[in-house]
Chain A
Amino acid sequence: MVSGKRIYSDFKVFSRGYLRNKFGLFFGLVFPVILILIFGAIFSGGSTGKVNVYAQNQDTGPFATPQMNIASKFLSALNESGTITVITVQTSENFSQYLADHSSSDGIVIPENFSTNYLASHQVNITVYGNPTSSTSGIVIGTVNGYANYFNLQRFNGTIVIGLNSATVNTQQTKYIDFLIPGLIGFSILTSPMFSLVNISSEYKKTKLFKQLSLTPLTKMEWLASKVIWYIVLTIAGFLLMVGVGIFAFGAHVAITPWLIPFLVLGPMLFAALGMLVGTVTKNPETAGVIGNIVTFPMMFLAGTFFPISSMPQYLQTFAHVLPLFYVTEGLNNAMVYGNVNGTIIDISVLGIITVVIFVLAVKLFKWRED
């Protein structure tokens, strides 16, 4: 017979002990927030500022009317794009040397007679300097390409057929923080209960604390239940903290819906049980720690916590599907970022099945006493 009163008294003692242990509290609540702050700062910095581009305009005319100075118009248009800032370089300078002297890899050179050729519909090429390994180069090439198309279309039809909207350019960039929040919530759902239960269940076995508890009316099911409840509480607290930091510090756009609840409940339940399973089937705390890491680390990095699954090679994407955490992070992304209810329901179902299997297995194999 499961007794709620006994679960409550065990919960009280365990949670009090947890809160008195600064180390556990740090890893449970503070660490995930620090991760959000660090990763958020690293990846959101580049997306807000404009890219500086050095431009040398070799098309110096002469022009019959100012309207015919297409080169200047083109540079002004780029400067107003919102993504790049044009810095003019004198024609007397050696351009590539100038870029090197200014430690920059992004530049544009407009050739002589650019305007004349354009008006005569003769092909003319703009040279764009860039560094393939730098993220800013992509922005520069994209922007220049977009404006070149715009000018081409304007020339051939005389009217603007397709406008380039600078707003479109901004939203095309993946908001990393939106992806990061569900990922890191998944990370903390995995790590806190998992590491803690691996450690507790192997240590308690070694120090015979389980035997000691088996001499009281507390059952192993009640003992595990109180741990699971504590980690659900901790997960929800961590969830609120991380979402709060994401929204207020980085302007993340994540939805808070009731669909998140199953993940915040099943997740800690699954990983607490998995941690206990590892602690139960291993002989001593040292082995338990090693096996625990072997189980945990692939999930930490390959289940869509820090990087989107789609950015990984196909075989790793396939592998990710056997990692239980994958269904937590994918489900959280579906619910919080994409609003994909059907996908969320599938993830909840898969997660529910895995949780039940692991939980039953852990309770079955876990022994209070020896035979």
Chain B
Amino acid sequence: MLPIEVSSLKKNYGDLKAVDGISFTVKEGEVFGLLGPNGAGKTTTIEIMEGLRERDGGDVKVLGFDPWKNGYELHKKIGVIPQEFTFFEKTTPREAIIYYADLFNIKVNPDEILKEVLLEESANVNFDSLSGGQKQKTGLALSLVNSPELLFLDEPTTGLDPNARRAIWEVIRGLKAKGKTIILTTHYLDEAQQLSDRVAIMDHGHIVAMGTTEEIIQQHGSGERLEIHGSEKLAEYIKANTELQVDYDKIKGEVTIPLKKKIDSLAALAAAEQSGLDWGDIQTRQDSLDDVFVKLVNEPVGEQGEVASEEKISKKRRR
């Protein structure tokens, strides 16, 4: 049994198809990133898996449970940090941990958990006096109280400064090292790339790409290419004297040669040298996840007309 099995999941808000038939599975010990712009359907998906929302269609099994019907049982086994985590204003992280332990009817050592999320120094500060990063760490601490094997982290670093983000990443890496299965939503590409074993890119309720970041780049990116700074004549010369495909970017003044094999670059450079024309900087480049992401989420997804604007989605979601 896989920790998470989702197939043909659907959720509508009125006419809006917030999640439109997505399927994926998550393996034990894996960090799975749900990546997408605001309003792509990430939070709806994660909340359905957590048992906080009812689905309209499809099948969802989390640790073998139907999350909506068996939520009460499921919640004892999972850890969750919701988006924009908040807690009782006048309660300290240490008290919050003890409170959760009492609710779960288990004994924990608060210091151990505080250490795990790097929050020892602020253990006795009221929640409303904590910084954004410390608040998120409190949320992480609480999600660990019941020693869950499966963790859901919904945009754990949104709104945090770069240092605080890195501190949270460190905590998440620590959890991963302990073998926990983690579902992570984010709209930061670097975060998904840094933390996830596999990524699903969501847009308008669909999964538009899924796999390791390398796989996604390979599938949806343009592949490796050689770029030579030079004139249009140079481009024509290389094209005439090799069997390579040669493009020219007039604005950048760049000759671009897609590389099927690395050795192709030698032939291109030899031709450039032979031409007797001037040529400048050379480099090989590959599409990054950023390039692929921008390409994917800007392209219309599914049938035109059935997807609503992001604004509309987020408005609906705020209810």
Would A370 and B52 be within 8 Å (CB), given that A5-B102, A216-B103, A217-B75 are in contact?
yes
Would A14 and B88 be within 8 Å (CB), given that A5-B102, A5-B105 are in contact?
yes
What CA separation (Å) do A20 and B124 show in the bound complex? 14
Q: Across the interface, do B103 and A370 meet the contact criterion of CB distance under 8 Å? A: no
Would A9 and B90 be within 8 Å (CB), given that A20-B126, A369-B53, A370-B53 are in contact?
no
Which chain A residues border B140 with CB–CB below 8 Å?
none
Does B95 reach chain A (CB closer than 8 Å)?
yes
Which chain B residues border A370 with CB–CB below 8 Å?
52-54
Which chain A residues border B126 with CB–CB below 8 Å?
20
- Consensus secondary structure, chain B interface: loop
Q: Across the interface, do B104 and A13 meet the contact criterion of CB distance under 8 Å? A: no
Q: Across the interface, do B84 and A216 meet the contact criterion of CB distance under 8 Å? A: no
- Cross-chain contact of B103 among A209, A218, A283 (Cβ < 8 A): A218
Which chain B residues border A371 with CB–CB below 8 Å?
53-54
Q: Across the interface, do B100 and A17 meet the contact criterion of CB distance under 8 Å? A: no
Which residues 93-126 of B have a CB within 8 angstroms of A?
95-96, 99-100, 102-105, 126
Does A16 reach chain B (CB closer than 8 Å)?
yes
Q: Across the interface, do B102 and A9 meet the contact criterion of CB distance under 8 Å? A: yes
A209-239 CB contact bits vs B (8 Å, 1 = yes)?
Answer: 1011011111000000000000000000000
Which chain A residues border B89 with CB–CB below 8 Å?
17, 21
Residue of A nearest to B51 (CB): A369
Select the residue from A6, A13, A16, A209 with max chain B CB neighbours within 10 A.
A13
Which chain A residues border B53 with CB–CB below 8 Å?
369-371
Which chain A residues border B132 with CB–CB below 8 Å?
none
Does A174 reach chain B (CB closer than 8 Å)?
no
Q: Size of chain B's interface in residues, with CB distance under 8 A?
A: 32
Q: Across the interface, do A369 and B52 meet the contact criterion of CB distance under 8 Å? A: yes
Select the residue from A6, A12, A369 with max chain B CB neighbours within 10 A.
A369
B82-94 CB contact bits vs A (8 Å, 1 = yes)?
Answer: 1111111111000
Does B50 reach chain A (CB closer than 8 Å)?
yes
Question: Min CB distance, A368 to chain B, in Å?
Answer: 8
- Consensus secondary structure, chain A interface: helix
Which chain A residues border B104 with CB–CB below 8 Å?
216-217
Q: Across the interface, do A211 and B52 meet the contact criterion of CB distance under 8 Å? A: yes
Which chain A residues border B100 with CB–CB below 8 Å?
216
Select the residue from A14, A20, A21 with max chain B CB neighbours within 10 A.
A20
Q: Size of chain A's interface in residues, with CB distance under 8 A?
A: 26
What CA separation (Å) do A16 and B127 show in the bound complex? 13
What CA separation (Å) do A214 and B71 show in the bound complex? 9
B293-317 CB contact bits vs A (8 Å, 1 = yes)?
Answer: 0000000000000000000000000
Q: Across the interface, do B75 and A17 meet the contact criterion of CB distance under 8 Å? A: no
Which residues 258-296 of B have a CB within 8 angstroms of A?
none
Does B31 reach chain A (CB closer than 8 Å)?
no
Does A73 reach chain B (CB closer than 8 Å)?
no
What CA separation (Å) do A248 and B51 show in the bound complex? 57
Which chain A residues border B103 with CB–CB below 8 Å?
6, 9-10, 216-218
Which chain B residues border A10 with CB–CB below 8 Å?
99, 103
A1-28 CB contact bits vs B (8 Å, 1 = yes)?
Answer: 0000110011011101110110000000
Question: Min CB distance, B96 to chain A, in Å?
Answer: 8
Question: Min CB distance, A172 to chain B, in Å?
Answer: 51
What CA separation (Å) do A225 and B54 show in the bound complex? 27
Question: Min CB distance, A218 to chain B, in Å?
Answer: 5
What CA separation (Å) do A371 and B54 show in the bound complex? 5
Which residues 201-215 of A have a CB within 8 angstroms of B?
207-209, 211-212, 214-215
Does B27 reach chain A (CB closer than 8 Å)?
no
Which chain A residues border B69 with CB–CB below 8 Å?
none
Does B319 reach chain A (CB closer than 8 Å)?
yes
What CA separation (Å) do A137 and B53 show in the bound complex? 71
Residue of B nearest to A21 (CB): B90
Question: Min CB distance, B86 to chain A, in Å?
Answer: 4
What CA separation (Å) do A21 and B129 show in the bound complex? 13
Which chain A residues border B87 with CB–CB below 8 Å?
209, 212
- Report B's interface with A, CB cutoff 8 A: 47, 50-54, 71-72, 75-76, 78, 80, 82-91, 95-96, 99-100, 102-105, 126, 319
Q: List 14 A-B contacts (CB under 8 A).
A: A9-B99, A9-B102, A10-B99, A12-B99, A13-B88, A14-B88, A16-B91, A17-B91, A207-B86, A208-B86, A212-B85, A212-B86, A214-B71, A215-B52
Q: Given A16-B91, A21-B90, A208-B86, 9 more contacts at CB 8 Å?
A: A9-B103, A13-B95, A16-B90, A17-B91, A20-B90, A21-B89, A211-B82, A217-B103, A369-B51
6 smallest beta-carbon distances between A and B, as pairs: A9-B102, A17-B90, A20-B90, A371-B54, A207-B86, A216-B103
